């Protein structure tokens, strides 16, 4: 066990450590991340990825990437590609261990014949509905159907003909022969294989029978030699069938399943089915919409893989489900960006300031460090300063309350990296809205301090009108308006809980020119505004688009109140 494993101690790692010491499996630790390629990965999957790859690395083992692709209706190669990209981006490497459950269809079929021959599986020809009723209920045992005692020969013959495509969908299924009165409903002769005359995205028309999840999952683990099969709590009841199958098929020292808590994050949903609906119904711009909890969306939003890994570590691995607060995720994001991204000046809602005593045509290049003192990085740039500036509308109030330290008539403020200025005149249009401010600057205050030591409390950001680059800011908020959008009121659909204000677009923002040549995907802190990233899809030179990754602090409530 590495030092990292000792530090990350949780019940899963405790267990793996014990198993390594006792030599329980007689082989190196092997885990797997087993996505079904029917959607993009989300932050919940990231938790599972960090756990599976993390445990493998910490205990000198390996982690497989296995696509659990057993449903021909919902799966697609585009999801395989996106999943690989996301796992790689998160910083994990599966080497050459890229596996597909669909590559095991032959083995799984052989196992099926084996089970039939052992008398442990049978072909049932009841309808879906009859099978359901025959299962009984939680309080009532089920009853054997008419086909449960078919002979091995009949079963084999039917199974082979199922495979050969002689029957239509639903005509027969292969079921395990276990116990129709089993206290665990899943063990009441679970379905193993069904007929589905549908082409598979990888296997084409090679198969017309497909294994069910329970049948494919544990046996795929066993085929690969997995030791610790880590999955989320909703599979707790499936552990019995997992164990039954790997044992009956005859694996020595088979893998063991352990369940951990699923990540649930406030103000979002982590169900691929629901996320797919948001995409298909056009309620978001796609899987990579920056409001989506998908890895692709979070990446486009500007979050780094390091921040996601740090978040996964903070939430830890527990046995009981608990929701994570969005604030805990945003904390991890800010913490990471604070230490790595340069600061720049960007004015979101521009208001023009004319410095009436600043010489026309004069331009000064002001030195501006890109990082604050407490960030151990160096770097600086020059920001042009001239007679006409943009400042943020929010930094001016004509009639300010007490304790408002920004600009107002007669008041002096500091321009970041620049001069002290005083507002002398407010220019309004015919409707009375403020359109321009006239200010004077104090030439001896370059750098922001008055030689006479007079105190100026407020510091505001700005850009030079003649030099700034126009840009679009996309301010993303929470996707849903309630903390738990899985808790839907009677008669309503979860989509009714979407927050209509989750995106605000500001089209007339201005940013300092130093960013002109930065590649798309560059991240910044816009001073006093938030962390932003230039949009990987839509931003280009001359038409810059920035996504807000996260606000500087949790100013969400404040912002809502103002809107």
The active-site residue, picked from 148, 161, 196, 262, is 262
Q: Which of residues 13-42 bind ligand ATP (CB under 6 A)?
A: 34-36
Strand 420-428 to 434-441 pairing: antiparallel
Q: Please report how the helices 239-249 and 105-117 are oriented relative to each other, as an axis angle in degrees rounded to 10.
A: 80
Residue (of 554, 482, 560) closest to 327 by Cα position? 554
CA distance 258 to 48: 12
Minimum distance from residue 33 beta carbon to ligand ATP (Å): 6
Give 154 or 486: the residue with its C-beta nearer to ligand ATP: 486
Determine if 279 is a binding residue for ligand ATP (CB under 6 A): no
How many residues lie near ligand ATP (CB under 6 A)? 15
Determine if 270 is a binding residue for ligand ATP (CB under 6 A): yes
Minimum distance from residue 420 beta carbon to ligand ATP (Å): 52
- The three-state secondary structure class of 309 is helix
Asked if 368 contacts 341 with a C-beta cutoff of 8 angstroms, the reply is no
Q: Is 492 considered catalytic here?
A: no
Q: Which of residues 237-266 bind ligand ATP (CB under 6 A)?
A: 262-263
Binding ligand ATP by CB under 6 A: which of 13, 16, 25, 48? 48
Binding ligand ATP by CB under 6 A: which of 5, 12, 31, 45? 45
CA-CA distances (angstroms) from residue 270 to 263, 324, 430, 523, 546?
A: 8, 12, 51, 26, 26
Q: Is 446 considered catalytic here?
A: no
Binding ligand ATP by CB under 6 A: which of 9, 27, 273, 454? 273
Give 265 or 515: the residue with its C-beta nearer to ligand ATP: 265
| Closest residue to ligand ATP: CB criterion | 44
Determine if 232 is a binding residue for ligand ATP (CB under 6 A): yes
Determine if 66 is a binding residue for ligand ATP (CB under 6 A): no
- The three-state secondary structure class of 450 is coil
The number of angstroms, rounded, from the C-alpha of 522 to the middle of its chain's C-alpha atoms is 19
Residue (of 145, 149, 142, 159) closest to 194 by Cα position? 159
Give 189 or 288: the residue with its C-beta nearer to ligand ATP: 288
Give 72 or 134: the residue with its C-beta nearer to ligand ATP: 72
Minimum distance from residue 125 beta carbon to ligand ATP (Å): 30
Q: Is 272 considered catalytic here?
A: yes
Residue (of 217, 222, 316) closest to 30 by Cα position? 222
All residues at 6 or more sequence positions from 369 whose CB lies less than 8 Å from its CB, including other chains: 343, 379, 380
Minimum distance from residue 263 beta carbon to ligand ATP (Å): 4
The active-site residue, picked from 47, 163, 177, 272, is 272
Residue 441's φ and ψ, nearest 5 degrees, are -110, 155
Binding ligand ATP by CB under 6 A: which of 271, 338, 449, 495? 271
Residue (of 132, 113, 118) closest to 174 by Cα position? 113
Q: What residues line the site for ligand ATP (CB under 6 A)?
A: 34-36, 44-45, 47-48, 231-232, 262-263, 270-273
> So which residues are the catalytic ones?
36, 262, 272
């Amino acid at each position: 066990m590495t030092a990292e494993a000792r530090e990350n101690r949780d019940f899963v790692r405790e267990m793996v450590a014990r198993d390594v010491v006792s030599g329980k499996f007689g082989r190196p630790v092997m885990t797997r991340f087993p996505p079904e390629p029917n959607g993009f990965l989300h932050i919940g999957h990231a938790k599972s990825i960090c756990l599976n790859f993390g445990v493998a690395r910490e205990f000198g083992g390996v982690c497989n990437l296995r696509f659990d692709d057993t449903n021909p209706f919902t799966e697609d190669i585009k999801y395989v590609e996106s999943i690989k990209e996301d796992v790689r981006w998160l910083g994990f490497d599966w080497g050459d261990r890229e596996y597909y459950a669909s590559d095991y269809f032959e083995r799984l079929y052989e196992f099926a014949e084996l089970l039939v021959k052992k008398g442990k599986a049978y072909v049932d020809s009841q309808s879906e509905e009859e099978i359901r009723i025959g299962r009984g209920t939680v309080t009532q045992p089920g009853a054997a159907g008419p086909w449960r005692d078919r002979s091995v020969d009949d079963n084999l013959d039917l199974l082979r003909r199922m495979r050969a495509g002689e029957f239509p969908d639903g005509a027969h299924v292969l079921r395990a022969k276990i116990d129709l009165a089993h206290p665990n409903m899943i063990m009441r002769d679970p379905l193993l294989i069904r007929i589905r005359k549908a082409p598979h995205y990888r296997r084409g028309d090679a198969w017309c029978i497909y294994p069910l999840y329970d049948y494919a999952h544990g046996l795929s683990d066993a085929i690969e030699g997995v030791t610790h099969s880590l999955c989320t709590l909703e599979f707790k009841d499936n552990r019995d069938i997992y164990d039954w199958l790997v044992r009956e098929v005859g694996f020595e020292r088979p893998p063991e399943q352990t369940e951990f808590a699923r990540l649930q994050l406030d103000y979002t949903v982590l169900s691929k089915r629901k996320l797919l609906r948001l995409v298909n119904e056009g309620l978001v711009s796609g899987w990579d919409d920056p409001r989506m909890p998908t890895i692709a969306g979070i990446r486009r939003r500007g979050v780094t893989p390091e921040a996601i890994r740090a978040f996964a570590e903070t939430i830890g691995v527990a046995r009981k489900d608990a929701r994570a607060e969005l604030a805990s995720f945003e904390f991890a994001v800010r913490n990471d960006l604070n230490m790595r991204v340069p600061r720049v000046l960007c004015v979101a809602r521009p208001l023009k300031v004319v410095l009436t005593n600043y010489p026309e045509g004069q331009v000064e290049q002001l030195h501006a460090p890109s990082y604050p003192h407490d960030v151990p990085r160096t770097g600086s740039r020059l920001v042009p300063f001239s007679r006409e500036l943009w400042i943020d509308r929010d930094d001016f109030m004509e009639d300010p309350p007490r304790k408002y330290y920004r600009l107002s008539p007669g008041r002096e403020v500091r321009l970041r990296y620049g001069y002290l200025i005083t507002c002398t005149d407010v220019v309004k249009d015919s409707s009375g809205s403020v359109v321009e401010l006239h200010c004077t600057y104090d030439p001896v205050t370059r750098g922001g301090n008055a030689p006479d030591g007079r105190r100026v409390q407020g510091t505001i950001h700005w850009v030079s009108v003649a030099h700034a680059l126009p840009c679009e800011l996309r301010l993303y908020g929470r996707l849903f308006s309630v903390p738990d959008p899985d808790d839907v009121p009677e008669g309503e659909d979860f989509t009714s809980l979407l927050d209509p204000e989750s995106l605000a677009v500001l089209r007339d923002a201005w940013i300092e020119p130093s960013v002109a040549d930065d590649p798309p995907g560059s991240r910044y802190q816009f001073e006093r505004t938030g962390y932003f990233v230039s949009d990987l899809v839509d931003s280009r030179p001359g038409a810059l688009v920035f996504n807000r990754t996260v606000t500087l602090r949790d100013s969400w409530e404040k912002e809502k109140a103002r809107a």
